[in-house]
Structure 1
């Protein structure tokens, strides 16, 4: 009876362990591929400036229209046109980042996507980004940009959620030069 129990235990262990070991051996050169679908890896490579299907990576979004500013809430909105380079539909669920003065490297505030945007494969969609100025930013605008209606700034340090794939893009990755409304000039 003990021998049968031992044999059944060994068979049970073999049934569980052998397929797991087989999968690990099959994916030994790419363990991430065992858990992440190839489409998601391709999206991440494209976002990080790597090769996408057509070898071009991702083009930065294009500014559409003029920025709008609300002095009561110290917020502004900017719209961008973005072409989906992926061979699948995407849903940009969230996007957040920092805004810095391009001339002085001064932190002006934060920006985020106003609402999630779905873009079909190869199509173009509009992303509306909302930004909020800090008190320090208002002082910066007053002292160093008091006579400028629009100020050169950079959107950087993005955190983006595209179809459930969450990426953090650090310094030098997908930075976006923009002109933002000067709140001092707008009041």
Structure 2
């Protein structure tokens, strides 16, 4: 078979399959979309568990090593099921979770985790560098409730309820009260 440059032969073990790069990209994008659509349902403590699992090789951890008191129907069981639904893990042997079952990391999850990182999967905002400075006032991003505005406190030489204007920005330099 004569392949163009945009086609790849994939050795899948028992079979070889030819795919175009567009087909491969479509499949990978679909898997990533599925993973990301489940991500909002994974709680922070469950992400901690996922980090612990992803820090090991696939199959290295047994369920009881992650959840010592594991029981079917428990919160731990729900966490494993959610991480499985999100395409991160699966039971390594049988098709159900039990304390002695090893946790297999799905190959796609390993590639995505290693290439995009946790933030790339969960859509977290990028972390600020130490050199970056957030100049927003505390609470600037908090939702604003619609209510009657509170009057500004009376200041020396200003009438009560006066509105802030640009001239006020440097008034503190001229206030007698602030000079030490």
Give the alignment's TM-score, normalised by structure 1. 0.24
Higher-RCO chain (CA-CA 8 Å, sequence separation at least 6): 1
Max radius of gyration: which structure? 2
Give the alignment's TM-score, normalised by structure 2. 0.25
Q: Which has the higher helix share?
A: 2
Q: Which has the higher strand share?
A: 1
